[in-house]
Structure 1
């Protein structure tokens, strides 16, 4: 059974072979039933997988037990895990999975995040990352890429890593030789060679291989990690140098910042130690704020319709917690707080709230429009028209976003005698919404 609009691709067969041919199993750790429904529908309806191959958990402990059971029974396991579970980061869970079960495939589910967060997730063990919402097509493609990396080179690297986990070091060296034959000085091939040499006790040769891998790709983290491990307890200068390289590439790793601080402390370099300890605290606080923000936002949303005065309290606390870290991404919180205030008749406070938001997004047309709405609540129509004009004249041309917005703007312009402006707003809105009867009626009223 295929969903409407879905087009079968070569990726389908890769995923089917994993589940039906190799008896693969998927474990989902998520607090979002909607993604579970999407994943289940994709596997069983779209791809027509014929066997039970999916477990869904909302808590870490039972998910971990299921992973242990399936891996112990010899199943290939693919794990989906939310970056934030009930608002709390799952980084420790991901690290434990990667440590205990290095052979499993792991995909992290997340909303829109920055580059530093993406790098950190890959560093701690994510094979792939899915940014939600995701379509069926994209989900199948991500599954296929995670199960079977594309291209002969990537497939050889995957085989080499499997052999390395089994301790078949001579075979790893053979695979690395094939990789380096296809792509001379391949960082991945050099890393496999270095790991095999290290396992055979040939440390000097391993070091040379890691250094070559690092020279070929300055931002590839794996050789830098190996070099840091190599120099740990042997050469503090080199150990610190490579730790700091890692920190510059992936600056959200709190534990590494603490380790850098600890090494400086042992060297009696107190100022340097304090600087990195302070950075570690900032990272931890940011993570804590992320969790707290998720909790308070969820509470505020649940109260929004039934008790706007209570929602106001939590939106205000949320912005207070953010403090100096408030940015354009927080506009939705400002907007929701403004609506909650207006619902209570606190239009002046709503204006103040939107004015605060303009400090982080000074050109946001939606804020101008919302300020105008708040002034309209207070029957301050001249001030309302002033901000509506700013919204209309902005690059976003807010009156073209929805018929109701255009009608609101035109209505206020008419009320304060700006007839020509009202006509122009309606005419421009009708280019976007030519069938809107209420806009047409309003245009006739202006023309008469």
Structure 2
């Protein structure tokens, strides 16, 4: 771990009286951060507060900002299954100096772009090591390298309305790196603030020409043409949409502009995309609610649990993925509990459309056929399960017993022996597997 990164974090907390505000349900991450700050970095000042709800977290940020304390906020991408996009946007709007690190699992490049667009200063993909955690914090607090530090200072002066100083800093940036998009953006913002719109437009256009995927110049160009040139406004909005396609509000705005231009078909296309984005964003919360309801009913009323699992899959519709296999699995078990083995088979076959090579699905189909005493079909699907997932019979003694028992019942003795012999290497003390082996012999 670099001592330089350690010192940056210490200076932020001890030297500048900085505070860390966490909005998370992840106690493991909280313990990691706490251990890193207090034990590894040996910081003595109590500087951390954790919240499980958004309202008290934003009140804490308001109090700290009001007292002039610098704030580093760690925010889960989803809290209680619900997206925290509005929280991030509100914090950045009300307290723009707050540094935000978003905590997330593995995610797509589109999602990462969207998080930065929301206002995230940095993103931590969990799980994270101590070294990476300290480095991420240091980079968030203090940009590395002379060029980044100049740009950071320029943005601070811009926020304070010190436009002449911004011009000076942009000149220094462009001296170090001619045609720097960040330097040109500072120049354009300063010129725009001074009322020199034509010069500002040229700076923004040059910044965009230097980096086609840097969103800030495109946003400035879109704003520049809003209300005066619909053609150019739409042009830049659509460029932004291509780079960051998960922004629901922008899709609505594109649709609105098309509507004003009497281009109903194009408007409807973007409105439909906006709805899909909104539904996708809401799915996490909806999934958690319905999944929790179904789980609470699972043992006492499987027929009611079935209803909620089925609703959850129906809501997902065309956006079903391998992440939903557990829901398919639980729905199938709820059906089997009621003796509805044919429905369970249909359910698992639907899941195969999402994950056609998932061995566990063939295994579950085999179990459902076993319930219906369709032993030949059961054996066929157990065989498919082993072909798709060669070690499936080694994952659990009960899985091995179920497969081997059916193989014996339909006369597939050689297959049964292979399953039992290999399973006994993983579960040598399982007496019921040993009984099956004796039965074969």
Output the TM-score relative to the length of structure 2. Answer: 0.89
State the secondary structure of the residue aligned to 2:430: helix
Task: Tell me whether 223-232 or 305-314 shows the greater mean CA deviation.
Answer: 305-314
Work out whether 1:43 is the aligned partner of 2:34. no
2:331 corresponds to: 337
- Matched ranges for 1:26-425 at <5 A: 26-394=20-388, 397-402=391-396, 404-425=398-419
Among candidates 409, 430, 435, match of residue 438 of structure 1: 430
**Cα distance in 2 between the residues matched to 1:177 and 1:401:** 64
Cα displacement (A) at 1:359: 1.5
CA distance in 2, matches of 1:214, 1:13: 36
Q: Helix, strand or coil: the match of 1:106? A: strand
Q: TM-score, normalised by structure 1?
A: 0.88
Computed over aligned residues only, the root mean square deviation of the Cα atoms, in angstroms, reads: 2.8
Determine the C-alpha separation between the residues in 2 that align with 1:151 and 1:365.
Answer: 51
Q: Deviations over 1:303-345 (max 9, x none)?
A: 4355444322211110121223323321121112223333444
The answer as to whether partners of 1:365 and 1:397 remain within 8 angstroms in 2 is no
Deviations along 1:253-296, whole A, 9 cap, x unmatched? 22212222222233333333333233323333333344322211
Shift in alpha-carbon separation, 1:34–1:232, aligned structure 2, 3 A:
same
Q: Distance in 2 between matches of 1:429 and 1:145?
A: 50
Which range is displaced more, 386-395 or 40-49? 40-49
Q: Give the whole-Å Cα distance in 1 for the aligned partners of 2:241 and 2:282.
A: 20
Distance 2:42 2:294 in 1: 41
CA deviation string 1:174-233 (max 9, x = no partner): 333333344332222222222222222222222122111111221111110011011112
- Provide the secondary structure at the position in 2 that maps to 1:359: helix
Alpha carbons of structure 1 residues 245 and 383: separation in structure 2 relative to 1, 3 Å: same
Bigger drift between 244-253 and 157-166 goes to 157-166
Q: 1:169 Cα shift?
A: 2.6
The answer on whether the counterparts of 1:403 and 1:436 sit within 8 Å (CA) in structure 2 is no
When residues 443 and 350 of structure 1 are mapped into structure 2, their CA distance, relative to the original with a 3 A threshold, is closer
Between 126-135 and 58-67, the greater mean CA deviation after superposition: 126-135
Which deviates the most, 116-125 or 272-281? Answer: 272-281
Question: In structure 1, what is the Cα distance between the partners aligned to 2:107 and 2:134?
Answer: 22
**Pairwise CA distance, 1:163:** 2.5
Distance 1:153 1:310 in 2: 61
Match of 1:4 in 2: none
Q: Distance in 1 between the 2:2 and 2:51 partners?
A: 29
Partner residue, 2:9: 15
Number of residues paired by the alignment?
440
SS of match in other structure, 1:129: strand
| CA spacing shift, 1:217–1:404, aligned 2, 3 Å | farther
- Please give the alpha-carbon distance, in whole angstroms, between the structure 1 residues aligned to 2:131 and 2:396: 30
- Distance in 2 between the 1:447 and 1:11 partners? 65
Q: 1:299 to 1:111 in 2, by over 3 A?
A: farther
Shift of 1:70: 0.7
Indicate how the Cα distance of structure 1 residues 134 and 315 shifts in structure 2: closer, same or farther if over 3 A, else same: farther
Q: Which shows bigger deviation, 350-359 or 333-342?
A: 333-342
Unpaired runs of at least 5, structure 1: 1-6
Structure 2 gap ranges (5+): none
Distance 1:323 1:158, change over 3 A: same
Equivalent residues of 1:423, 1:446 under 8 A apart: no
Residues 72/268 of structure 1: CA separation in 2 closer, same or farther (3 Å cut): same
Structure-2 change in CA distance of 1:270 and 1:417 (3 Å): closer
Indicate if the aligned counterparts of 2:252 and 2:271 stay in contact, CA closer than 8 A. yes
